[in-house]
Amino acid sequence: MLFNMRNCFSTAKLIRTSKQLLRPFWYGPPAQMNVHLKGRDLLTLQNYTADELKYLLWMASDLKQRIKHKGEYLPLMQGKSLTMIFEKRSTRTRLSAETGFALLGGHPSFLTTQDIHLGTNESLTDTARVLSRMTNAILARVYKHNDLDLMIKEATIPIINGLSNLYHPLQILADYLTLQGFEPDLRVTEMAEQYSKKHGTKLLLTTDPLEAADGANVLVTDTWISMGQEEEKKERLKAFQGYQITMQTAKSAASNWTFLHCLPRKPEEVDDEVFYSPQSLVFQEAENRKWTIMAVMVSLLTDYSPQLQKPTF
């Protein structure tokens, strides 16, 4: 899906290097935000206010700066454990959560449907209650979002959505940090329209890729065939013909355009020229999955507050 984000993001100031385009954070004077997320769940970003989302991005920036760039050791998850339930395959979500939680001194446990009784020999209700007594949080990648809703009702620990059939909040957080057809789901469209009106932005729904790219600062596409949709491959490839992002598409975009893709990527979705171009931020985007998910876990499980100055988002 291609989005015209011209009015959704303020134009980012970009620094060009020989290899890539980087969008730096601009640090202003220290700021305090009256945000307390400890004990919360994260199923969808619509349950979080703008200040709370900014806080999570601030936290991610803080952890990235202190751990990656300054080499500090922050054992904020020491003595804590994370249950990771995955009904679907995963590369970035699994690695970012597993390595991130361990980097913070915690113990992640990766479980598939072959490892536990999830809904087979044991109800989801009982599983959520058992895990609540053995671990500090649950990150789950599920086929049905309703399963996450049930976990929230039965668990006494934070539940984090690692991808459902409706939402992927961890991916959106990483996209935001990086940036500093099939008809879309009607519920998502209506929600987007409400937010657009509330914040005075422009929402464009179109089936013309060039119209969508016109003047856009960010070009975003996604996998055409997601997990569980393999039987629809032939139909989807036919329906999405003409939607591949190429340099011809980019000619319609703003002069400082950038490209994002949540990965894994297939050549029919975006060609090599765009995917490996200096304007492509896909690998920075993938790395930022780690820092944003670490920010979520630290915010939901500890009282730690960012020590660096708050960036201007």
Residues 6 or more apart whose Cβ sits within 8 Å of residue 24: 13, 15, 180
Pairing state between β 21-22 and 81-86: unpaired
262 is annotated as an active-site residue: yes
Query: Nearest-5° angle of CA 281, CA 284, CA 287?
Result: 150
Assign 3-class secondary structure to 100-157: HHHHCCCEEEEEECCCCCECCCECHHHHHHHHHHHCCEEEEECCCHHHHHHHHHHCCC
Out of 97, 250, 253, 262, pick the active-site residue.
262
Q: Please name the helix (run of DSSP H) or strand (run of DSSP E) that holds residue 63, with its range, or none.
A: helix 50-63
Handedness of CA 40, 43, 49, 52 (dihedral sign): positive
- Beta-bridge mates of residue 218: 258
d(CA 150, CA 143) in angstroms, rounded, equals 13
**What is the DSSP code (8-state) at residue 70?**
S
User: Annotated active-site positions, please?
Assistant: 262
